[in-house]
């Protein structure tokens, strides 16, 4: 990128933007998310997290009133996200950009954050490189390598499997997960006996599951995006005769999320996963969080919701530190190295990379009374994104 261009733009922005020039008593947050379309539920849960936090903590912080402006991208549209970010900055005068259901959205808006020097809180987009695209960005969700490398190491060392087959969706996050998992698994002495990349819009998994079964692995690693696919692949495992209690099936959290497990029923029992949050996690803070969330939205929170919730926490606490100063430099400085207790456990923002540092929990699907839930039985503490600084 042309440095002069950015400097010029920033100068112009700083000099003329309505938000910065006239920010008296409000701090405006522009939330850019895929409120409509295929990923609408992700956006809805992030939004619920935001709403709950504001309900619990009030809409005034450090003497400033918080105002939220929501914008819909309709899906993984980088150009629309960039346009919306521009409009939020120049038209609505927002001080902070937040949300970001999907990586392309975050990448589009990151340019604007960098040019206009706006604090940007990435509450979901999980591709590792996203945070490097603007010096004013922090991430409060998760990165895929953080999870998948932890899963790989854990499976080869403590999980007791040396031969693994990997199945991932054939798109950016899936490839990230595959690369991370295989790298860590091999490094820990495991062997990858086969792998398959499955189409993103794949309604039926029988063929892929059968391929995995043909290889006779000791364990299978799975990554599929949330929505209808987790349940579909889970049932395919059952239909093709792969029993998770006999063959280890480990995945990221999406593949065993609440709806998926509910739809799978008993066939989900024994499924392993590495993840950073589950509504069933046992802590006083999480119990209260889940209770409040249910009271408000009549459903359980998920990792999307917690990303939004913690994102708001970072915004509130940073504003407190800057005493309401809402420029990008001050806010990102305040957010760096921030540590707090989240419903998911202790988390922090890495001072150097601005990325999230958190515990990764190893869980197993078990029966708890009549319900079927993910039960944590092991954890790896304070995991950073492993890819930063790596070439």
- Tell me if 296 contacts other proteins by CB under 8 A: no
CB 326, CB 241: distance < 8 Å: no
Span interacting with other proteins, options 145-153, 184-192, 260-268, 306-314, rule CB under 8 A: 260-268
Residues 14-33, interacting with other proteins (CB under 8 A): 33
- Tell me if 108 contacts other proteins by CB under 8 A: yes
Q: Give the side-chain half-sphere CA count within 13 A for 35.
A: 11
Whose tokens are 């530190």? That residue is: 321
CA–CA distance, 190 with 184 (Å, rounded to integer): 9
In this structure, the dihedral spanned by the alpha carbons of residues 154, 157, 163 and 164, taken in order and rounded to 10 degrees, is 0
CA–CA distance, 173 with 326 (Å, rounded to integer): 32
Residues 166-195, interacting with other proteins (CB under 8 A): 170-173, 175
- Kindly state the smallest distance separating residue 80's Cβ from other proteins, in Å: 7
| Closer CB to other proteins, 8 or 160, in the complex | 8
Span interacting with other proteins, options 137-145, 237-245, 304-312, 351-359, rule CB under 8 A: 237-245
Burial 336-357 (b: 16+ CB within 10 A, else e): bebeeebbbbebbbbeebbbbb
Residues 212-231, interacting with other proteins (CB under 8 A): 213-214, 227-228, 231
DSSP character at residue 133:
G
Q: Give the side-chain half-sphere CA count within 13 A for 169.
A: 21
Alpha-helical segments (H) within the chain: 3-16, 18-22, 40-57, 78-90, 103-116, 144-157, 172-187, 206-214, 229-239, 258-264, 284-297, 303-321, 328-335
| Closer CB to other proteins, 61 or 176, in the complex | 176
- Kindly state the smallest distance separating residue 153's Cβ from other proteins, in Å: 25
Span interacting with other proteins, options 53-61, 199-207, 287-295, 376-384, rule CB under 8 A: 199-207
Residues 109-148, interacting with other proteins (CB under 8 A): 111-112, 115-116, 127
- Tell me if 241 contacts other proteins by CB under 8 A: yes
| Closer CB to other proteins, 33 or 122, in the complex | 33
- Kindly state the smallest distance separating residue 57's Cβ from other proteins, in Å: 23
| Closer CB to other proteins, 115 or 350, in the complex | 115
Q: Give the side-chain half-sphere CA count within 13 A for 55.
A: 13
Binding pattern for the stretch 144-163 against other proteins, x by CB under 8 A and - elsewhere: --------------------
- Tell me if 201 contacts other proteins by CB under 8 A: yes
Interface with other proteins (CB under 8 A), residue from 79, 191, 287, 329: 79
Residues 323-362, interacting with other proteins (CB under 8 A): none
What is the distance, to the nearest Å, from the Cα of residue 6 to the centroid of all Cα atoms in its chain? 29
- Tell me if 368 contacts other proteins by CB under 8 A: no
Interface with other proteins (CB under 8 A), residue from 27, 44, 97, 142: 44
């Amino acid at each position: 990128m042309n440095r002069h261009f950015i400097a010029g733009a920033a100068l112009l922005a700083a000099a003329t933007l309505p938000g910065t020039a006239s920010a008296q008593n409000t701090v405006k947050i522009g939330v850019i998310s895929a409120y409509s379309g295929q990923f609408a539920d992700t956006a809805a849960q992030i939004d619920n997290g935001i709403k709950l936090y504001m309900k619990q903590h009030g809409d005034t912080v450090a003497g400033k009133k918080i105002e939220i402006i929501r914008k819909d991208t309709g899906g993984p549209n980088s150009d629309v996200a960039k346009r919306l970010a521009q409009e939020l900055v120049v038209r609505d005068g927002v001080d902070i950009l937040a949300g970001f259901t999907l990586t392309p959205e975050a990448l589009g808006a990151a340019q604007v954050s960098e040019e206009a020097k706006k604090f940007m809180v990435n509450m979901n987009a999980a591709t590792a490189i996203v945070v490097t695209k603007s010096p004013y960005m922090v991430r409060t969700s998760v990165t895929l390598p953080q999870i998948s490398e932890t899963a790989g190491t854990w499976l080869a060392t403590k999980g007791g499997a040396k031969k693994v087959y990997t199945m991932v969706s054939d798109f950016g996050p899936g490839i990230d997960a595959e690369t991370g998992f295989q790298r860590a698994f091999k490094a820990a002495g495991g062997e990858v006996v086969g792998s398959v990349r499955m189409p993103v819009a794949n309604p039926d998994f029988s063929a892929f599951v059968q391929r995995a079964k043909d290889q006779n692995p000791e364990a299978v690693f799975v990554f599929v995006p949330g929505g209808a696919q987790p349940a579909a692949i889970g049932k395919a495992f059952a239909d093709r005769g792969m029993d998770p209690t006999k063959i280890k099936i480990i995945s990221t959290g999406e593949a065993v999320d609440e709806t998926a497990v509910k739809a799978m029923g008993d066939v989900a029992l024994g499924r392993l996963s590495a993840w950073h949050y589950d509504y069933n996690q046992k802590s006083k803070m999480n119990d209260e969080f889940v209770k409040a969330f249910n009271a408000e939205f009549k459903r359980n929170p998920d990792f999307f919701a917690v990303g939004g919730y913690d994102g708001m926490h970072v915004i509130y606490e940073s504003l407190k530190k800057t005493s309401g100063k809402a420029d990008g430099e001050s806010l990102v400085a305040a957010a760096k190295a921030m540590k707090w207790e989240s419903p998911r456990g202790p988390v922090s923002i890495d001072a150097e990379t601005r990325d999230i540092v958190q515990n990764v929990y190893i869980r197993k699907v078990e029966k708890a009374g009549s319900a079927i839930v993910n039960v944590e039985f092991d954890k790896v503490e304070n995991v950073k994104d492993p890819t930063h600084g790596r070439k």
